[in-house]
Amino acid sequence: MVTKYHIDTAYINGVDQRYCVLGDNSANPVLLYLHGGPGDTCLPLIERYNINLAQRYNLVVWDQRGAGLSYYPFTANNHPSINTYIEDIHQLTLHLLDRFNQDTIYLIGHSWGSVLGIMFIQAYPELVHHYIGCGQAVDMHAITAEQIAFVRAHTKDADTLTFLDNYNEAIVGQNWVKTLLRLTKLVVKNGGSLYKHSNMNNLIWPFLTCGRYSIHELLNRQKGSMQSITYLWHELMDTNFTDIHHFDLPVAFFEGRYDYHVSSSNAHAWYETINSPKSWHWFEHSGHFPQWEEPDHFIDTLLLTLAE
């Protein structure tokens, strides 16, 4: 059983940022996890469900700038862009390679983190041994269209149907954040995020019960999530990787069969066009979070994939 748990601070790209290393053997390779969101930190979930990865890797869980333990307030005149996060990952990676005397890292990107992951391996392929996309985002406009279609297929409520009909106009209006969050809640409510669940309670309780977060830090996590969405979502909506067909390193994708939160069918259609070393892994009892919905299967599959 892994016993070592280190939360460290690194001065990355002009800002102090926190990351946790889970592992007992400093000689093990580095596996860096990029959380979703933007701003949706996940350390208690990794500790609860994925801790066994730390027997084979130095499992690094980074709270991205402005989020969770790395919270600081963004402002209209001083907030990051997606490129800021790519450079953060670059500097953090160099720091970790030096700390653990490695040449490359293994990289997992989940949801928003999968956008950062693809962009990073395009910019710095020499630093990554293998990339794993989980809940991989490919074409954000297509993903949104599939979210709307999913909810429409699962509701007869007149108010909801009117909301869906008017979504594209509302999302560019003054209350666009409220509109975005309502669509997300409808996807969750109808089982498109967590398979056979209509809420996120299973992913909330670990934060409240882990004992590692103060009330102040839990509040900062909520503030960090909201500000990250507010300042990054419009740029995120420009994401479209469908014209990318080759990578200079192996890539793998771990996808829930019932992911309508970030469409796994959209990701699979793109996967079919990739012409470099690749693998695809379906999780038949998962939605958007196979790493926490089927954690044992996720870990076993990941270890086998990275050993190839």
- Residues 69-93 have a mean pLDDT of 97
What's the pLDDT score for residue 212?
80
What's the pLDDT score for residue 27?
95
Of the ranges 1-5, 19-23, 232-236, 285-289, which one carries the lowest mean pLDDT score?
1-5
- Residues 281-300 have a mean pLDDT of 98
What's the pLDDT score for residue 150?
98
- Percent residues over pLDDT 70 in the chain: 99
- Residues 102-111 have a mean pLDDT of 98
- d(C-alpha 260, C-alpha 152), whole Å: 12
- Residues 258-268 have a mean pLDDT of 98
CB 47 within 8 A of CB 2: no
In sequence order, which residues have a C-beta less than 8 Å from that of residue 109 and are 6 or more positions away? Answer: 34, 115, 116, 117, 118, 120, 131, 132, 133, 134, 136
Instruction: List the domain boundaries for the chain.
Output: 5-307
**Which tokens hold the place of 159?**
């108010």
pLDDT, tens only, 107-158: 999 999 999 999 999 999 999 999 999 999 999 999 999 999 999 999 999 9
What's the pLDDT score for residue 5?
75
pLDDT, tens only, 44-76: 999 999 999 999 999 999 999 999 999 999 999
Spell out a b/e string for 252-265, using b for 16 or more CB atoms within 10 Å of the CB, else e. bbbbbebbbbbbbe
CB 114 within 8 A of CB 133: yes
Q: Is the pLDDT of residue 172 over 80?
A: yes
Q: Give Cα 49 to chain centroid, integer Å.
A: 15
DSSP string covering 31-63, please? EEEE-BTTTB--HHHHHHHSGGGGGTSEEEEE-
Q: Is the pLDDT of residue 98 over 70?
A: yes
24 confidence band (pLDDT: 50, 70, 90) = confident
104 confidence band (pLDDT: 50, 70, 90) = very high
What's the pLDDT score for residue 299?
98
211 confidence band (pLDDT: 50, 70, 90) = confident
DSSP string covering 129-173, please? EEEEEES---BHHHHHHHHHHHHHHT---HHHHHHHHTHHHHTTS
Q: Tell me the whole-structure pTM to 2 decimals.
A: 0.97
Q: Give Cα 192 to chain centroid, integer Å.
A: 16
CB 26 within 8 A of CB 97: no
Q: What is the CATH number of domain 5-307?
A: 3.40.50.1820
Taking the CA atoms of residue 72, residue 78, residue 82 and residue 84 in that order, the dihedral angle to the nearest 10 degrees is -80
- Residues 168-179 have a mean pLDDT of 96
Spell out a b/e string for 211-249, using b for 16 or more CB atoms within 10 Å of the CB, else e. eebeeebeebbebbbebbbbbbbeebeebebeeeeebeb
Q: In this structure, is the dihedral angle defined by the CA atoms of residues 202, 206, 209 and 214, taken in order, positive or negative?
A: negative
Q: Is the pLDDT of residue 1 over 60?
A: no
- Residues 208-228 have a mean pLDDT of 93
What's the pLDDT score for residue 4?
65
